[in-house]
Amino acid sequence: MINIIGAIIAGLLIGALARFFYPGQVAMGWIATILLGIGGSLLAGLVTSRGQREFHGAGCFASVIGAIVLIFVGRLLEIGR
């Protein structure tokens, strides 16, 4: 249970930082921000593991960069519609 609460809090902090540093306004609610932060952490962890079998947790900076990349990709997909 503590792991879930920790993931939610970390996701909120990372998602909020990514929204802050992304140029322009990013309109999303709290739940979307939490999911963005968790997704950014997972993306950064996958990139930093470099094909190894075991998953390594990414640092906070890499997680924020991963979340910013997710915002960018989301905006690209939105433009394509």
Q: Is 40 exposed, middle or buried (0-12, 13-18, 19+ CB in 10 A)?
A: buried
Return the higher-pLDDT residue of 17 and 3.
17
- List all residues 6 or more positions away from 56 whose beta carbon is below 8 Å from its beta carbon: 45, 48, 49
Residue given tokens 């990414």 in the structure block: 58
Q: What is the pLDDT of residue 56?
A: 62
22 contacts 68 by C-beta, under 8 angstroms? yes
Dump pLDDT digits (tens) for 11-34.
Answer: 999 999 999 999 988 888 899 999
pLDDT score, position 70: 94
* Residue 58: Cβ within 10 Å count: 22
The pTM of the full predicted model, rounded to 2 decimals, is 0.83
For residue 51, pLDDT beyond 70: no
